[in-house]
Amino acid sequence: MIHLTSSSRLKSASAFAVAFFGFVAVGIAQSPQQQAPFVTHSLKPNVYWVEGGGGNSGVLVGADEVIVIDAKTTQGGGKELLDAIAKITSKPVTTVILTHSDGDHVNGLAAFPSGVKVIAHENNKKEQEAALAKGGRGVPPADHLPNQVLTKNKESLTVGGVAFELYHWGQAHTSGDLVVLLPQEKIVFTGDIIAANRPEPLIHLEKNGSSEGWIQTAKGVAALDATVFIPGHGAPQTKADIEARISQTEAKRAKILDLISQGKTLDEVKTALGEPATAAGGSGPNFPTFTEVVYRESGKK
């Protein structure tokens, strides 16, 4: 069943979903048993966001076609997303815009029609091609890789009568992040630049992400003329939510760099920040913490 919520209920939905999704690890494909159920939320008469099955997805219903933003974690999740869209409209899905290359946002493309247009930043495509060459980690089939790549910091396009502005401020969560603005509706899809289910930014160093680039990109997001921000994971955010996250991140990054300049080891930095010391064998199955990322970026091991 599709559950629709109006934009007037976003604030209460945000408080609930932040608590509910707090345990979910971003960027790690989960088993179907761990996936949250699909729920479709209405933002505008033609704009929806779909949670569950991985990263959040956007659905934009144009005059004669449907545009999707991000495609879930698995082929099964991609099919479930298409089934959810079919309950909204009978119009065909013709275009997918990818915010970045993580599997929980791209792997569902395997369920999408052959010939669908896949729009992404050029570095996103390079990351997917590299993963495919190595055998992939659930990378979509080669015929579903991005086939329209963007190279500029800002590009505008119109698909099915729906206007988009696509922004890339630099290496942040990954090297190929795209932020999607619907200028007429004043809605932004941030991808994992903002992940509301995590207290701190997630930076993929293996994809040339950057903590400094994250701050620059997040500031770009906050400066957009928008009222609703759909994150890569979790509930809708406000401009104030994002600004608070930026402020906290800048302050913590400055503190980490100051401690590094004092010659502190990683464990000493973590202790000073009230974080658990590094476990034997690394930081566990998840990605490096923000503190670990900044420490590694400084050239420390």
- Which string of DSSP letters, residue by residue, matches 104-172? HHHGGGGGSPTT-EEEEEHHHHHHHHHHHHTT-SSPPPGGGS-SEEE-SSEEEEEETTEEEEEE--SSS
Tell me if residue 202 falls in helix, strand or coil.
coil
Range 82-97 average pLDDT: 98
C-beta neighbour count of 297 within 10 angstroms: 18
| Confidence label for 224 from pLDDT (cuts 50, 70 and 90) | very high
Mean pLDDT for all residues in the chain: 87
Contact (Cβ atoms closer than 8 angstroms) between residue 103 and residue 139: yes
Coil, strand, or helix at residue 57?
Answer: strand
- Res 12 pLDDT > 60: no
Domain ranges of the chain: 7-297
Section 199-228 average pLDDT: 97
The residue-averaged pLDDT of 126-130 equals 94
Average pLDDT over residues 156-183: 97
* 6 has a pLDDT exceeding 70: no
Structural domain 7-297, CATH architecture:
4-Layer Sandwich (3.60)
Q: What tens digit of pLDDT does each residue of 21-66 get? A: 322 233 333 333 356 789 999 999 999 999 999 999 999 999 999 9
Structure tokens at 216: 């620059």
Distance CA 95, CA 155 (A): 16
